[in-house]
Structure 1
Amino acid sequence: MSTEGAGSPPREATPTATASPPIITSIPQKRALEDDHQPAISSPLNPDFKPQPSKHQDEAALARERAPRAKKESLKKRESKAGSIAPDTSARATPDPKAATSQKSKKHEAPPAPMRYKLPPPKLTDFEPPRGPIFIQSHIKTAPDGTEIQFNETTDHVYNKKAFHYTHCIADPAFPSSLYYRQSETEPFESRLNFEDTSTHMFLDESGKHVTTDKGFRMAKANVGVREGRWYWECKITSGIPKRKRSDGGGHTQEESANGHVRMGWARREATLDAPVGFDAYSYGLRDVAGQKVYMSRPKDFFPPGEDIREGDVIGLEINLPSETLHRKVVEGHYNPAVDLTDDENPGIERADIIRDRVPIRFKAHLYFEQIEYQAVKELEELMNPSPVIASSGGVAIGHTQEPGPTHQCPSLRTLPHSSIKIYKNGELIGTPFTNLLAFLPPASKPIAQVGAREGLDDGMLGYYPAVSVFRGGAAEVNFGPHFWYPPPGFEDQDDEVDMIGSDQPTTSKLQKLRAVGERYDEQIVEDIVYDIVDEVDFWMQDGGVSGKGATNGMRASAGVSVQDGMLAGGVLGSEEIKELVQDDE
């Protein structure tokens, strides 16, 4: 063994073991996975390279450095999923259960209260009973029975057009919380054609029972509509296809020239007035020529061959609608054909919440409530006029993918089970031209999209209305009962309820009594009174039980809009005068 010299340099220590490449201790240690996921060196693929912190760096600094990177990564993931940015990482990691719960509970929320306006004090004239239109004599027509009918031009009244619906109103000191205004009616106080719900350039008599025009097809609706049950009314042709024939001198007979044309049927609120009944998907009509049924402008044979509807004929129209309870099941998507086999509900036992967003306006010397009208939806427009482009390209066109039915995916295309329209001619049943009528309760009906419009609300005036269309001299008289020219079989002898055969079986429902449409007039007035009282109590409760001047000063917006915002449902708060409506008769 050799020994070191005193002056020799110190010898390096001999390694105790031979180091192999996999375990060379001089290679830098691999960074911890929790530190970062970036490469250790910079590269074109890693432009955001940051130096790796040493192992002696403070852990708090590492946490602060990791936080922005984690937030950025989470943001990208959320953007790729079209999500929203949450305020912190814990909210991003765990979905907010309240959001889902609130979204699910929207269907079960209580309906909103009517929109409320701050109005100026009413004028003394606002307390006077509303007046009907002014009648200007136009011409006289002679009915087939020799009766002379004085037709008049109506003026100084508003028409239901320009996206609004109008009803008469009056100021009443018994309604201080609703700022004094309530709904009212004008003479004649009975079921008739609605002077406000007719097209322009139509002539009516003062009773509102006769109608004609010298223009093209135009429509007039009744002032009463039906929502459930069985209802009947009559339409008499006073000028149309004549019954008489004349000789041409050669032994042949020819029809006399037609004195215009008439169509009659049932029309919904959305049906256009400047077209005949049956023009679109919102009305079901009967044509005088050949007695054809018309729906969406498509005439189809219905009467026996060679039979027309001529002057003097009386056409009876019966509609059958299920209860509103079953109706709401259909439009809300809860209808099950396997379970809801029959309609066992009695009409009127359950009513939906009626929300009437309306504001009083002036038209000349008249006061009206103005409400946003319901519109024709694109699904029914597509049903009437299918788009060949959408159909050929395989696009999603609801009218092509599924026929209307009670379980249709689109509420506007859902039909009512047990619904139909029957036609009588001079007291004899001709048949049932229409079944499975389209539903009309929201969301099947939607208001026109504009300021103040709110979808899903029922204003109480949706339904099917008797409607008459006349064309170039055609004239008709309506009879809403109860004394009909040709009562349908068994109408006068029926009891309150008529049991079906086998009514002892639990799965069989009862047929409702066939009623005259005219009975709806008094019912509608009662409903309007009840709705007005409900609105008054609602506003009174919002004011904390304060009436009169205190109610006006303490008014709160029922739709979540504060008075300080300056606007409420499109109405200007603190206005000095009620809106004056300007509407041409053209």
Structure 2
Amino acid sequence: MSFEDAATHVFFDKSGRQVTTDKGFRMARANVAVREGRWYWECKITQGIQPPKDGDAKPVGGKHVRMGWARREASLDAPVGFDAYSYGIRDVAGEKVFMSRPKEFFPPGEGIKEGDVIGLEIQLPSEHLHRKIMAGHYNPAVDAADEPAPATAEAANIVRDRVPIRFKAHTYFEKIEYHATKELEDLMNPSPAVSSSSSNDAPGPTHPTPALRTLPNSHIRIYKNGVLMGTPFENLLGFLPPASKPMPQVGAREGLDDGMLGYYPAVSVFRGGAVEVNFGPDFWYPPSDYDSTNGEVDMIQPDGLSANSLHAVVERYQEQIAEDIIYDIVDEVDFWMQDGGGATNQAGVDEKTKEVVMAPGREEIKELVQDD
């Protein structure tokens, strides 16, 4: 789990796998996001609802946990499933929760108790199809197969603006966060006084409002102690811009993807509730179609094996590191070109174009002043 991407009063062990709190519901997210494909992780309840004691009809409660998948905009001071930016499973009766509306999911009397291991699988379409949906070019009759992007397809425009801030003779670079959109707030709490044709339409891949467009063939599956319990959520909401919007910042561009948008593994704990997360590759209850060898032994896929295989979330960490390296190289080349392409004069001194030298605001850095 991420030590930074967590609410206050959330406590971790040194490994970052054990999570608990002594306050009300607080959320913690993982440090990687999934953007396409099938991914799986597990969550073991180490402190939660205990089985009924001898002679008692009801289980012993007081400590609670929830687990699921959450986007960047999901509130950390609320449980998973609180808003339209996260999908959660509740320990009480094993209910599914979305937009704070719990609904029955587990069979009656099943529930999630201390010692149970909950497996969470998510499936998302390709980024190529996702971007086509957000651009408004999705055609269900043509794009239902979700074929791979052609080699000539335009690459994703990843922009990682960091606003420089000078404070006490040091320069810090502020990461821009994404904020909740009015459309999803209205979806969660519809106002009877406001009615329009677009707001009344159910979310779908061709919805006129980008924030309300869903991803076809996307779903979340839940396992309990290795047994598939079902699929509580289907047609998940899209997260790429313009569905997700960064907070406006002076000197930063607006409405762009910084490469960290996606669905994050997330857990919420309540008053002593505690969990242990397992992102693989050695799961407690691996699904039947999970390849624990990660392709290291057999380099050739056997006939009939789906190309959309199930991956452990830990594999996404390595992918994310590789993506960051690529984005670093792209940014270096971009800045090099903005500075004149490395042209030098006869004396070997770098020459910058007049446009670069005279560009307004390039040397402007926001400065914070601390009151005495």
Q: Same fold (TM over 0.5)?
A: yes
Alignment of 1:106-505 (within 5 A): 193-243=1-51, 245-247=52-54, 252-255=55-58, 257-345=60-148, 351-360=155-164, 369-390=173-194, 395-396=195-196, 398-400=198-200, 402-492=201-291
1:428 aligned partner, one-letter code: V
Shift, 1:246, TM fit: 2.5
In structure 1, what is the Cα distance between the partners aligned to 2:330 and 2:83?
35
Are the counterparts in 1 of residues 246 and 254 from structure 2 also a CA contact under 8 Å? yes
CA spacing shift, 1:350–1:310, aligned 2, 3 Å: farther
In structure 1, what is the Cα distance between the partners aligned to 2:120 and 2:129?
23
Are the counterparts in 2 of residues 379 and 398 from structure 1 also a CA contact under 8 Å? no
1:422 aligned partner, one-letter code: R
CA spacing shift, 1:293–1:441, aligned 2, 3 Å: same
CA spacing shift, 1:374–1:330, aligned 2, 3 Å: same
In structure 1, what is the Cα distance between the partners aligned to 2:142 and 2:59?
56
In structure 2, what is the Cα distance between the partners aligned to 1:364 and 1:211?
34
Deviations along 1:196-222, whole A, 9 cap, x unmatched?
100011111111111111111110000
Secondary structure of residue in 1 paired with 2:110: coil
1:45 matched residue in structure 2: none
Are the counterparts in 2 of residues 236 and 312 from structure 1 also a CA contact under 8 Å? yes
Q: How many residues align?
A: 361
In structure 2, what is the Cα distance between the partners aligned to 1:517 and 1:422?
15
Higher RCO, Cα 8 Å, sep 6+ = 2
Percent identity of paired positions between Structure 1 and Structure 2: 66
1:159 matched residue in structure 2: none
Q: Which runs of 5+ in 1 are unaligned?
A: 1-192, 502-509
In structure 2, what is the Cα distance between the partners aligned to 1:347 and 1:320?
21
CA spacing shift, 1:361–1:500, aligned 2, 3 Å: farther
In structure 2, what is the Cα distance between the partners aligned to 1:200 and 1:262?
16
Secondary structure of residue in 2 paired with 1:433: strand
In structure 2, what is the Cα distance between the partners aligned to 1:574 and 1:452?
9
1:163 matched residue in structure 2: none
Are the counterparts in 1 of residues 219 and 234 from structure 2 also a CA contact under 8 Å? yes
CA spacing shift, 1:529–1:341, aligned 2, 3 Å: same
In structure 2, what is the Cα distance between the partners aligned to 1:344 and 1:519?
23
Are the counterparts in 1 of residues 215 and 238 from structure 2 also a CA contact under 8 Å? yes
In structure 2, what is the Cα distance between the partners aligned to 1:477 and 1:270?
24
Secondary structure of residue in 2 paired with 1:196: coil
Secondary structure of residue in 2 paired with 1:523: helix
CA spacing shift, 1:497–1:205, aligned 2, 3 Å: same
Task: Decide which structure has the larger Cα Rg and report it.
Answer: 1
Are the counterparts in 1 of residues 71 and 263 from structure 2 also a CA contact under 8 Å? yes
* RMSD, aligned CA: 3.1
2:322 aligned with 1:519, yes or no?
no
In structure 2, what is the Cα distance between the partners aligned to 1:341 and 1:416?
11
Are the counterparts in 1 of residues 289 and 310 from structure 2 also a CA contact under 8 Å? no
Shift, 1:447, TM fit: 1.4
CA spacing shift, 1:325–1:475, aligned 2, 3 Å: same
Deviations along 1:255-309, whole A, 9 cap, x unmatched?
4532510000000111111100001100000000000000000000000001110
Are the counterparts in 2 of residues 290 and 303 from structure 1 also a CA contact under 8 Å? yes
Shift, 1:347, TM fit: 11
Shift, 1:237, TM fit: 0.3
In structure 2, what is the Cα distance between the partners aligned to 1:293 and 1:498?
36
Q: Which moved more, 1:442-451 or 1:410-419?
A: 442-451
Q: Which runs of 5+ in 2 are unaligned?
A: none
CA spacing shift, 1:556–1:217, aligned 2, 3 Å: farther
2:336 matched residue in structure 1: 540
In structure 2, what is the Cα distance between the partners aligned to 1:365 and 1:228?
42
**When the two structures are superposed, what TM-score results if normalisation uses the length of structure 2?**
0.88
**When the two structures are superposed, what TM-score results if normalisation uses the length of structure 1?**
0.57
CA spacing shift, 1:408–1:485, aligned 2, 3 Å: same
Q: Which moved more, 1:411-420 or 1:342-351?
A: 342-351
Are the counterparts in 1 of residues 220 and 231 from structure 2 also a CA contact under 8 Å? yes
In structure 2, what is the Cα distance between the partners aligned to 1:350 and 1:513?
25
CA spacing shift, 1:364–1:431, aligned 2, 3 Å: farther
Are the counterparts in 2 of residues 324 and 351 from structure 1 also a CA contact under 8 Å? no
Are the counterparts in 2 of residues 480 and 516 from structure 1 also a CA contact under 8 Å? yes
Shift, 1:328, TM fit: 0.8
